[in-house]
Amino acid sequence: MNILVVMIPLSIVLLIGAGIAFFWAVEHDQFDDMDTPALLPLLDEPPTTDEALE
Amino acid sequence: MNTPAASCWHCGESLPDDPPRALVTGASHAVCCQGCRAAAEWIGQLGLADYYRLRSATAPRAPDPAEARRSAAAWQRPELSRHAVRTLADGRCEALLLVEGIRCTACVWLIERALGALDGVASVQVNAVAQRARIVWEPGRTTLAAILEALARTGYGALPLDAAGLDDARRREARAALKRLAVAGFGAMQAMMFASALYLGAASTMDPATRELMRWLGLLVATPVVFYAARPFFQGAWRALKARTLGMDVPVAIAIALIYAASVVQALAGGGEVYFDSVSMFVFFLLAGRYLELRARHRAGNLADAMAGLAPAFAERVRGDGTLERVGAAELVPGERVHVAQGMRVPADGVLDGADCRVDEALLSGESVPLRKRRGDALTGGSMVVEGPAIVVVERVGADTALAGIAALVARAQSERPRLARQGERAAARFVMRTLALAALCAAAWSFVDPARAFAATLAVLVVSCPCAFALAVPAAITRALAVLAGHGVFVVHTDAVEDLALASHAVFDKTGTLTDAHLELVAVDAADRDRALALAAALARGSRHPVAQALVRAASGLPVETAADVRTVAGGGLAGNVAGSAYRLGSPAFALDAAHGDDDAVILAGEQGVVAAFRLGERLRAGAREAVAALVASGVAVEIVSGDAAAKVADVARRLGIAQWRARQSPASKLERLRALRAGGARVLAVGDGINDGPVLAGADVAVALASGAELAQAAGDVILDGANLAALPAARAIARQTLAVLRQNQRWALAYNLVVVPPAALGLVPPWLAALGMSVSSLVVVLNALRIGRRAPAPASTPVAAAGRRRWA
């Protein structure tokens, strides 16, 4: 059972880390628009015309 | 539906006879106006022509380039830009724009690239749902005016919002809710882990020290959940208590506080049972329901946004020497003269000075036909000049205008609406209070019998009967209903609307734009040879853009239509021309016959020998209007029309729809009066509307349905937004709402039955903690699974392209 002495603090640290990461993400606009960003990369195809390549 | 060849390549509107052509990446495409042509060619030059391939909805009609340039230039004036631009700490400037016409993700792609290509623009963030763009730029290298002009060239009109809106309250609210949800979720998972260790450890051999450790760990993870995540419940309960009411928050807060406090006492004292897992999970479930509700609310527009879009931001002031000067509409003072170009909105209330014009007030008054205004007639701010230009002497500005008055009426009606406490919540609150009383009783009884066990038994009663199933019964059913309704193109803004929708006893419809759409249609023909008469009329009417002419042409589609020669348009009269060698006149009786005719509203086709035919035109009924009204009547709802339009027009539509009750010529205030009278008679009123003049009625009804195609103000006042053009979604939505109510009641009955079974053993101290926690979870699960049945046997979803596009924006 001694392994608990390592595992439990580790899980608490991870928990706090995940919480901080999530808060950071919320504060940095990551959850403001849940619809558009997911689709944007699908649209970002290379230009098809010579003119556009410049 | 327009065929691709007959509609504008850029915006999809119908093409004029000789359309301009846009040259994009070597190919020529027909477009509807110079604005669209400029936008399409500009997009091509930027190398962004891929937009046309990527988009899933057509672009908005592009503004006229010269007009757009003038609008943008006005933002050079410091009086205007001062409020809209915020200077950041590093010297860069930031502005928030409300962009009109973002319809799909390709728009976001296009705007981000078109503006990003501009020198000096540091960042562009477009939010398609909120229709907002946040732009940061370096003031030395570009200006707000240049950014707005670039946006206009790409085909989007934009309105800078007040800089105060940059830290808008909605965003803060959404972020705070998300953080609380995350804390509750993490906490609940961890607490559950430590609790299972305890439950399993109770059966096997776990040494007391480890058990002690598990209790303390439970306390550690549950504390932030109770003190941070559950704060809204405590705040809500406190507000309710101060107002001397008993909402759902009070029992929830008491339950959370009691279970947590008791568990803390047990953990500190050592040896007792703790319920940190139950309390965390309870908070998490409740917050999840609230978060979904908040997202639905934020997707609909708010009143402030609607107000920003109502009246134009600018006016063209006529200087003393007759030249025009562009100023902000807020700068106008009564007595000044402004010039309103054709197709623009009147910036303030005033009086027409100078040449006649025609204005469209459909959204303001419900009047279905553009009105001819003569010198000295009053013009209302916000109405659109269809035939102009108009010179207006400003009389009232700002808060004194009719438009501001309607908006104020909406705000007041909304705040006055006596919200019926949700039936489900009331029942749940009552039940939870009884459970709490029972727990107190149990504690008292045990303290006489065996004080040592009093605490454990009381806690078991609290947890096993934990209001979870009850508190979840409503949100689970409502949340599922919202999702199902959204699939049908019906977006619910205020969740109580679901109950009101199911229970409505009266339905009040607006006419113009709600039961009818913008077009006229041929109702009857009085002629010897119907087809021949229609073909002749269509031959004359083919070149005209007048709504009557277009309706006649539509009606004659499929008939052999000859070509008319020498067609002349006589303003205020009609059309005259030659078909197959004979002269014909088409128009009002006075024009076509030079004499009165029995029927003044008819459109007369006259030849050299007199009347050939009399056409009666009526407003075209919206798709599904007939079905919607019939279905509502069949389910026992009293249907009535309250319109701002003329009596004859309202009567005609009422007759065609089979509605006996109608009122015409109603102002927004008198519409609201009618609604109050109905409600005073005990009716639950469902109001359906689309216009600005419907705003007060919508805000004052028990449940308001606004059309997504209507005015922003109506949508802001609506509880339910109906997407797409078909009204038949309304009875379908009502069917789902009724089903939701049924499921909701089942859930409550189940929760009641469950509690009746488990509370007595818990009170007798016979329920071990692991069983109490399990019982709580299972009872909640049953409630959630039952809620998922909603919509399973509902009518097939209306999967029109419009509904699909709307889903993206709202769902």
Phi (first) and psi of residue B204, to 5 degrees: -100, -150
Q: Which of B363-367, B561-565, B587-591, B648-652 has the highest mean pLDDT?
A: B648-652
Hey, what's the torsion of the CAs at B270, B274, B277, B280, to 10 degrees? -100
The chain-wide mean pLDDT, for chain B, equals 78
Do the Cβ atoms of B808 and A35 come within 8 Å?
A: yes
Do the Cβ atoms of B175 and A27 come within 8 Å?
A: yes
What residues of B are in contact with residue A22 (Cβ under 8 Å)? 179, 182
Band of residue B165 on the pLDDT scale cut at 50, 70, 90: low
B293 and B318 in a common domain: no
Kindly state whether residue B723 falls inside one of the protein's structural domains. no
Q: Is B770 on the interface with A (CB under 8 A)?
A: no
Choose the closest CB to A22 out of B49, B108, B182: B182
Average pLDDT over residues B236-253: 77
What residues of A are in contact with residue B178 (Cβ under 8 Å)? 26, 31
Average pLDDT over residues A45-54: 44
Kindly state whether residue B395 falls inside one of the protein's structural domains. yes
Q: CA of B56: which chain A residue's CA is closest?
A: A43
Nearest to B358 by CA among B393, B383, B394: B383
pLDDT at B570 over 80: no
Q: Is B213 on the interface with A (CB under 8 A)?
A: yes
Band of residue B227 on the pLDDT scale cut at 50, 70, 90: very high
Q: Is B294 on the interface with A (CB under 8 A)?
A: no
Q: What pLDDT shows up at residue B502? A: 87
Number of domains within chain B: 5
Q: Would you state the structure tokens that stand for residue B353, as one six-digit string?
A: 């000075």
Q: Which residue has the higher pLDDT, B13 or B30?
A: B30
Q: What pLDDT shows up at residue A10? A: 92
Q: What pLDDT shows up at residue B110? A: 81
Do the Cβ atoms of A26 and B25 come within 8 Å?
A: no
Kindly state whether residue B50 falls inside one of the protein's structural domains. no
pLDDT at B125 over 60: yes
Asked whether B349 and B398 are in contact (CB, 8 A), the reply is no
Least confident of B48-52, B355-359, B431-435, B531-535: B431-435
Q: Which residue has the higher pLDDT, B470 or B178?
A: B178
Q: Min CA distance, A47 vs chain B (Å)?
A: 7
Q: What pLDDT shows up at residue B221? A: 92
Q: What pLDDT shows up at residue B797? A: 41
Pairwise CA distance, residues B329 & B132, whole Å: 22
Q: Which residue has the higher pLDDT, B573 or B146?
A: B146
Residues 706-735 of B with CB under 8 A from A: none
Asked whether B472 and B442 are in contact (CB, 8 A), the reply is no
Q: Is A3 on the interface with B (CB under 8 A)?
A: no
| Encoded amino acid at B110, one letter | L
The chain-wide mean pLDDT, for chain A, equals 75
Average pLDDT over residues B471-485: 74
B370 and B321 in a common domain: yes
Task: Convert B543-571 to b/e letters by CB count within 10 Å (16 or more is b).
Answer: ebeeebbbbbbebbeeeebeebeebebee
Band of residue A51 on the pLDDT scale cut at 50, 70, 90: very low
Do the Cβ atoms of B128 and A12 come within 8 Å?
A: no
Q: What pLDDT shows up at residue B470? A: 67
Kindly state whether residue B218 falls inside one of the protein's structural domains. yes
| Encoded amino acid at B725, one letter | A
Band of residue B204 on the pLDDT scale cut at 50, 70, 90: low
Q: Min CA distance, A13 vs chain B (Å)?
A: 12
Q: Which residue has the higher pLDDT, B582 or B6?
A: B582
Kindly state whether residue B683 falls inside one of the protein's structural domains. no
| Whether the predicted interface score ipTM is above 0.85 | no
B138 and B220 in a common domain: no
Q: Min CA distance, A17 vs chain B (Å)?
A: 11
Choose the closest CB to B54 out of A29, A36, A43: A43
Q: What pLDDT shows up at residue A25? A: 93
Band of residue B184 on the pLDDT scale cut at 50, 70, 90: very high
CATH of the domain at B148: 3.30.70.100
By annotation, the residues of B acting in catalysis are 510
Nearest to B134 by CA among B101, B102, B161, B107: B161
Q: What pLDDT shows up at residue B363? A: 63
pLDDT at B577 over 80: yes
B28: helix, coil or strand? strand
Band of residue B406 on the pLDDT scale cut at 50, 70, 90: confident
Average pLDDT over residues B648-663: 87
Q: Is B47 on the interface with A (CB under 8 A)?
A: yes
Pairwise CA distance, residues A8 & B7, whole Å: 66
Interface mutation target, options A24, A35, A44, A51, chain B, most CBs of B under 10 Å: A35
Asked whether B316 and B340 are in contact (CB, 8 A), the reply is yes
CATH of the domain at B561: 3.40.1110.10
The domain boundary residue, chosen from B366, B400, B434: B400
Q: Min CA distance, B323 vs chain A (Å)?
A: 42
Q: Is B808 on the interface with A (CB under 8 A)?
A: yes
Per residue in B316-341, pLDDT tens? 888 878 788 777 777 788 888 888 88
Q: Is A53 on the interface with B (CB under 8 A)?
A: yes
DSSP result, B404-420: HHHHHHHHHHHHH--PP
Burial class (CB in 10 A: 0-12, 13-18, 19+), B87: exposed
Do the Cβ atoms of A32 and B179 come within 8 Å?
A: no
pLDDT at B435 over 80: no
B188 and B122 in a common domain: no
Inter-chain CB pairs, A–B, below 8 Å? 80
B205 and B271 in a common domain: yes
Q: What pLDDT shows up at residue A40? A: 66
Q: Would you state the structure tokens that stand for residue B291, as one six-digit string?
A: 């978060």
Band of residue B347 on the pLDDT scale cut at 50, 70, 90: confident
Percentage of chain B exceeding pLDDT 70:
83
pLDDT at B726 over 50: yes
B458 and B348 in a common domain: no
Band of residue B222 on the pLDDT scale cut at 50, 70, 90: very high
Average pLDDT over residues B573-597: 78
CA angle (B303 as vertex; B302, B305 as ends), nearest 5: 70
B93 and B145 in a common domain: yes
Q: Is A18 on the interface with B (CB under 8 A)?
A: yes
What residues of B are in contact with residue A47 (Cβ under 8 Å)? 47, 50
Q: Which of B243-252, B556-565, B670-679 has the highest mean pLDDT?
A: B670-679
Asked whether B332 and B393 are in contact (CB, 8 A), the reply is no
Q: Is B38 on the interface with A (CB under 8 A)?
A: no
Q: Min CA distance, B127 vs chain A (Å)?
A: 6
| Encoded amino acid at B615, one letter | F
Choose the closest CB to B25 out of A18, A32, A49: A49
Q: CA of B172: which chain A residue's CA is closest?
A: A27
What residues of A are in contact with residue B53 (Cβ under 8 Å)? 48
Asked whether B47 and A54 are in contact (CB, 8 A), the reply is yes
Q: What pLDDT shows up at residue B796? A: 43
Q: Min CA distance, A43 vs chain B (Å)?
A: 7
Asked whether B699 and B417 are in contact (CB, 8 A), the reply is yes
B249 and B155 in a common domain: no
Q: What pLDDT shows up at residue B599? A: 62
B155 and B183 in a common domain: no
Pairwise CA distance, residues B254 & B466, whole Å: 11
Alpha helices in B117-248 (DSSP H): 144-153, 169-203, 208-224, 231-242
What residues of A are in contact with residue B808 (Cβ under 8 Å)? 35
Pairwise CA distance, residues B569 & B429, whole Å: 70
pLDDT at B788 over 50: yes
Q: What pLDDT shows up at residue B180? A: 94
What residues of A are in contact with residue B207 (Cβ under 8 Å)? 1
B548 and B529 in a common domain: yes
Q: Checking phi first, is residue B571 left (phi over 0); if not, alpha (psi -120 to 50) or beta?
A: beta
Bridging pattern class, strands B506-509 and B685-689: parallel
Q: Is B172 on the interface with A (CB under 8 A)?
A: no
Q: Which residue has the higher pLDDT, B205 or B296?
A: B205
Kindly state whether residue B772 falls inside one of the protein's structural domains. no
B333 and B288 in a common domain: no
Kindly state whether residue B177 falls inside one of the protein's structural domains. yes
pLDDT at B106 over 90: no
Per residue in B442-454, pLDDT tens? 888 888 888 777 7
Choose the closest CB to B105 out of A19, A43, A52: A43
Taking CA atoms, B168 is separated from A33, B164, B541, in Å, by 15, 7, 52
Bridging pattern class, strands B337-340 and B314-318: antiparallel
Q: Which residue has the higher pLDDT, A13 or B335?
A: A13
Q: What pLDDT shows up at residue B368? A: 64
Do the Cβ atoms of B210 and A4 come within 8 Å?
A: yes
pLDDT at B76 over 50: yes
B263 and B156 in a common domain: no
Asked whether B461 and B771 are in contact (CB, 8 A), the reply is no
Any idea what DSSP says for residue B345? B
Choose the closest CB to B108 out of A40, A52, A54: A40
Alpha helices in B344-422 (DSSP H): 362-365, 402-416
Do the Cβ atoms of A36 and B128 come within 8 Å?
A: yes
pLDDT at B524 over 70: yes
Q: Would you state the structure tokens that stand for residue B247, as one six-digit string?
A: 């909402």
Q: What pLDDT shows up at residue B722? A: 80
Do the Cβ atoms of A32 and B171 come within 8 Å?
A: yes
What residues of B are in contact with residue A36 (Cβ under 8 Å)? 105, 108, 126-129
Q: Is the preceding peptide bond at B547 cis, omega within 30 degrees of 0?
A: no
Nearest to B314 by CA among B341, B334, B351: B341
Pairwise CA distance, residues B398 & B403, whole Å: 9
The domain boundary residue, chosen from B145, B167, B189: B167
Q: Is A27 on the interface with B (CB under 8 A)?
A: yes
Q: Which residue has the higher pLDDT, B36 or B711?
A: B36
Q: Min CA distance, B163 vs chain A (Å)?
A: 18
Hey, what's the torsion of the CAs at B475, B477, B481, B483, to 10 degrees? 60
Q: What pLDDT shows up at residue B423? A: 56
Domain that holds residue B585: 520-621
Do the Cβ atoms of A22 and B179 come within 8 Å?
A: yes
DSSP result, B474-489: HHHHHHHHHHHHHHTT
Q: What pLDDT shows up at residue A42? A: 66
Least confident of B279-283, B387-391, B415-419, B756-760: B415-419
pLDDT at B760 over 60: yes
Q: Is A47 on the interface with B (CB under 8 A)?
A: yes
Do the Cβ atoms of B109 and A43 come within 8 Å?
A: yes
Choose the closest CB to B106 out of A12, A35, A43: A43
Phi (first) and psi of residue B17, to 5 degrees: -60, -45
Q: What pLDDT shows up at residue A21? A: 95
Q: Min CA distance, A2 vs chain B (Å)?
A: 10
SS3 for B740-785 is: HHHHHHHHHHHHHHHHHHHHHHHHCCCCCHHHHHHHHHHHHHHHHH
Interface mutation target, options B105, B166, B214, B808, chain A, most CBs of A under 10 Å: B105
Band of residue B298 on the pLDDT scale cut at 50, 70, 90: low
Pairwise CA distance, residues B741 & B187, whole Å: 33
The domain boundary residue, chosen from B572, B594, B621: B621
Band of residue B207 on the pLDDT scale cut at 50, 70, 90: confident
Pairwise CA distance, residues B292 & B298, whole Å: 10
Any idea what DSSP says for residue B558? T
Q: Is B126 on the interface with A (CB under 8 A)?
A: yes
Alpha helices in A1-54 (DSSP H): 3-27, 36-43, 50-53
Average pLDDT over residues B106-110: 78
Pairwise CA distance, residues B541 & B513, whole Å: 25
Kindly state whether residue B716 falls inside one of the protein's structural domains. no
